[in-house]
Structure 1
Amino acid sequence: MISYQVCECGAPLQLREDTTPEPAGTEVLLRVTAAGICHSDIHFWEGVYDIGGGQVMRLADRGLKLPLTLGHENVGRVVAVGPEARGVQVGDERLVYPWIGCGTCAVCARGDEQLCLKPGFVGAFRPGGFSDHLMVPHPRYLVDYGDVAREQAAPLACSGVTAYGALKKFGELLKREPVVVIGAGGVGLMALAILRAMEARGAIVVDIDPRKREAAMQAGALAVVDGKAADAAAQIRAIVNDRIWAVVDFVGSGPTVKLGTDLLTKGGHLVVVGLFGGEITIPTPYIPMRAMTLQGSYTGSLPELNELIALLRKRPMPYLPVQVRPLDTVNQSLQDLKDGAVVGRVVLAPN
């Protein structure tokens, strides 16, 4: 078995070879056929999050240990099953739900394993898919994704369920009012496609990259705005007659979150998803006086991933641009994503 591992934060991933594991108990061994690269992989690779004020949160302090095999957007073919594994068989190709919790706490019991305080996330706390094989602890984390091409299915495990989980927080508002989407990276473009599948009103997209704004228009955005424009907020307000009820921020920087809060009309709702980093200051009286909702959204639950797959079977969506690259391009691919040179998603496939 070969894997590309982070052996030193920020340094190139190293190719390692080891014995292919054999599944025990409820475990299922997959041969990886597609592994998406996500911005969270950049944070895991670098080992830190920017939390503003010149401070960082070190992932080592939160339990991440090196060497680490990244990759949490994975599709694989079942090659072996443990004696207690039920519901899958050798030859099945499945999407892997990566946000695994402890399985026993109250949070996991209600179905929100992604919020578990003792996480076992694939590609963070257990080996991920930047490898030719991947071990999954239980068949329930394997999702039948239907007839979708595997390179389009893989990003659903993070980009897709993250966008869906965030958009669901707006409820029926999506059918009545356009949502402002900040960031047209892989998750933002996925959100546009999911909004169409949800038969929502549509989205105004804000991004600083003209290539991504163009991709957003091609994906069905109602309008696009350059986030660097001095009058960006005024442009957005003009499009919707100054009534902005819903904003979702897939960047999560100080300036983008501030833009989101500034845009909201009275009673408006901002959902922050992105982890770019930074900080904001909000006058506390504004929160009750404007009756605003400022909410975080962290990936999505296993039930939400199953809901998303069921939705896409009923209303297939136009998929985001995907570049399929060989697994051995992982270091260049990570750097390209970090540099903002990727439109859509990069998905790695074994050589």
Structure 2
Amino acid sequence: MKSYQVCECGAPLRLCEQDTPVPTGTEVLLQVTAAGICHSDIHFWEGVYDIGGGNVMRLADRGLKLPLTLGHENVGRVVAMGPEATGIAIGDERLVYPWIGCGTCAVCRRGDEQLCLKPQFVGAFRPGGFSDHLMVPHPRYLIDYGDLSPDQAAPLACSGVTAYGALKKFGDLLKSEPIVVIGAGGVGLMALAILQAMEARGAVVVDVDARKRETAMRAGALAVVDGRAGDAAAQIQAIINDRVWAVVDFVGSGSTVKLGTDLLTKGGRLVVVGLFGGEITIPTPYIPMRAMTVQGSYTGSLPELNELIALLRKSPAPYMPVEVRPLESVNESLNDLKEGNVVGRVVLAPI
């Protein structure tokens, strides 16, 4: 089995060869056919999150161990299974749900494994899909993705379910009010497709990159705004007729979160998803006086990914520019994403 592994944080991934594992119990072995590259892979690769004030949170302190095979947006073909694995067959093509928990705590039992305090996430705490094979602990994490191509399906495991989980937090508001989407990267573009599938009012999209704003318009945005414009907030409020009830921030920098809170009308909600890093200061009286809600959203649950697949199977395929590259391009691809040179998603194809 060939895998590209992080052996030193921030250093190029190394090609490693080892025996292909043999599944036991409920385990399922997949031959990887598509592996998306996500911004979270950048954080896992670098080993830190920026928490503002010149400080960082080190992932090694949270249980991340090297060497690590990245890759949590994976599609693969079943090639072997343990004797207790049921409900699947050799040759099945499946999308892998990566946000696996311990499976036994109260959080996992209620279906929110992504919030487990003892995570076993694929591509972080267990080997991921930047490899030609991937071991999954149980068939319940394997999802039939219908008629989508593998490169369309793979990003649903992170950008798709992350966007869906965040949008659900707005509830019925999506039907009655346009929302503001900050960030037109892979997750933001996926959010536009999901809003259309949900028959929502739509979104005004904010991004600092002109290419991404153009892509967002092609993906169905109501309007786009340059986040670096001095009057960005005024532009957005004018488009939405002054009252902004809902903002979802897929960037998560100090400046974007501040923009989100500045935009909110009384009773509005900001959902922060992105992990870019930074810090903000909010006068505490504003929180009750404006009755604002600032809420975090971390990926999505296994039930939500199943809901999303069912929703998208009734709708046209999401508009998501996808560039398929060979697995061997992983280091170049990670750097392209880090430098902001990717529009949409890069998906690695090991075979």
TM norm. shorter chain > 0.5? yes
Is the CA contact 1:194–1:317 (under 8 Å) kept in the aligned structure 2? no
Aligned counterparts of 2:149 and 2:128: Cα–Cα separation in 1: 20
Is the CA contact 1:190–1:320 (under 8 Å) kept in the aligned structure 2? yes
Alignment of 1:197-346 (within 5 A): 197-346=197-346
Pairwise CA distance, 1:319: 2.6
- Residue type of the alignment partner of 1:222: L
Aligned counterparts of 2:350 and 2:227: Cα–Cα separation in 1: 37
Pairwise CA distance, 1:97: 0.1
Is the CA contact 1:34–1:347 (under 8 Å) kept in the aligned structure 2? yes
Aligned counterparts of 1:161 and 1:236: Cα–Cα separation in 2: 26
Deviations 1:318-351 (A, max 9, x none): 3300000000000000000000000000000014
Is the CA contact 1:196–1:317 (under 8 Å) kept in the aligned structure 2? no
Aligned residue number for residue 39 of structure 2: 39
- Residue type of the alignment partner of 1:10: G
Is the CA contact 2:29–2:136 (under 8 Å) kept in the aligned structure 1? yes
Deviations 1:131-166 (A, max 9, x none): 000000000000000010110000000000000000
Alignment of 1:87-236 (within 5 A): 87-236=87-236
Work out whether 1:81 is the aligned partner of 2:78.
no
Pairwise CA distance, 1:315: 2.0
- Residue type of the alignment partner of 1:141: Y
Gaps of 5+ in 1: none
Deviations 1:292-318 (A, max 9, x none): 010000000000000000001122343
Deviations 1:48-68 (A, max 9, x none): 000001100000000000000
Aligned counterparts of 1:212 and 1:312: Cα–Cα separation in 2: 23
Is the CA contact 2:175–2:201 (under 8 Å) kept in the aligned structure 1? yes
Aligned residue number for residue 63 of structure 2: 63
* Corresponding residue SS for 1:230: coil
Aligned counterparts of 2:283 and 2:303: Cα–Cα separation in 1: 37
- Residue type of the alignment partner of 1:248: V
* Corresponding residue SS for 2:206: strand
Is the CA contact 2:3–2:15 (under 8 Å) kept in the aligned structure 1? yes
- Residue type of the alignment partner of 1:294: V
Aligned residue number for residue 22 of structure 1: 22
Q: Note the aligned Cα RMSD (angstroms).
A: 0.5
Deviations 1:200-233 (A, max 9, x none): 0000000000000000000000000000000100
Pairwise CA distance, 1:252: 0.1
Aligned residue number for residue 8 of structure 2: 8
Relative distance call for 1:211 and 1:274 in structure 2 (3 A) is same
Aligned counterparts of 2:203 and 2:241: Cα–Cα separation in 1: 14
- Residue type of the alignment partner of 1:91: G
Aligned counterparts of 1:282 and 1:349: Cα–Cα separation in 2: 44
Aligned counterparts of 2:220 and 2:8: Cα–Cα separation in 1: 41
Aligned counterparts of 1:206 and 1:313: Cα–Cα separation in 2: 28
Aligned counterparts of 1:293 and 1:63: Cα–Cα separation in 2: 31
Aligned counterparts of 2:96 and 2:250: Cα–Cα separation in 1: 23
Pairwise CA distance, 1:240: 1.0
- Aligned-pair identity in percent equals 86
* Corresponding residue SS for 1:268: strand
* Corresponding residue SS for 1:245: strand
Is the CA contact 1:76–1:95 (under 8 Å) kept in the aligned structure 2? yes
Q: What TM-score, normalized by structure 2, do the two folds share?
A: 0.99
Is the CA contact 1:197–1:317 (under 8 Å) kept in the aligned structure 2? no
Is the CA contact 1:178–1:204 (under 8 Å) kept in the aligned structure 2? yes
Gaps of 5+ in 2: none
- Residue type of the alignment partner of 2:275: L
4+ aligned runs moved over 6 Å, structure 1: none
Deviations 1:240-276 (A, max 9, x none): 1111000000000000000000000000000000000
Is the CA contact 2:190–2:318 (under 8 Å) kept in the aligned structure 1? no
Q: What TM-score, normalized by structure 1, do the two folds share?
A: 0.99
Deviations 1:76-101 (A, max 9, x none): 00000000001111000000000000
* Corresponding residue SS for 1:166: helix
Is the CA contact 2:148–2:317 (under 8 Å) kept in the aligned structure 1? no
Deviations 1:172-213 (A, max 9, x none): 100100010000000000000110000000000000000000
